[in-house]
Amino acid sequence: MDVGDKGEAQALQAGFRLAMRQLAGGVCAITVGVDEDRGGLVATSVTSLSVDPPALLVCVNRSASAWPLIRRHRHFGVSLLARRHLLFARRFSGQDGAQGAARYENAAWETAETGAPLLADAIVAFDCQVEELIERHSHGIVIGRVRSITPVREAEVLVYLRGKYAGVDV
């Protein structure tokens, strides 16, 4: 690849990032691990894969600290965040420098059947067992078989759009 090609590739990547920021996504805390060997991240790349059996698909950057935890523990939680969780979302995404188990401070947690931590007051939370990991490009595609779901709570959903968090209530 020559210098011109590299510049074109970088421009395409920048354009892709900008274009994808136009797609609003529900903000979820992806949680994994137990005790001090836990971590997590904030993701908008969570989607339903199947109803029969219930399964979710989550995309995780393979450079994220949570990636080796998902590979090792083979379980994860997905907690859909409400607008009231804005400060938590910033901390859990590492914006305040919190890493690993420190990201879990100042929030109430429940331990799911698989051992995954679930945010106690999430709008809804899914307990998932890793069914398959597919490594593609910079990310890992995580297919999780849903083992349990918490009851849905009515609240203003936290979304991410154009590089910012916002609350949505319909």
pLDDT at 5: 86
Query: Which of 3-7, 25-29, 100-104, 131-135 has the lowest average pLDDT?
Result: 3-7
Global pTM reads 0.92
pLDDT at 70: 98
Confidence check: pLDDT of 1 > 50: no
Q: Give 145-155 pLDDT, tens digit per residue.
A: 999 999 999 99
Contact in structure between 130 and 76 (CB atoms under 8 Å): yes
**Residues 6+ positions from 155 with CB-CB distance below 8 Å:** 82, 83, 84, 123
Domains of the chain: 25-168 (2.30.110.10)
pLDDT at 4: 63
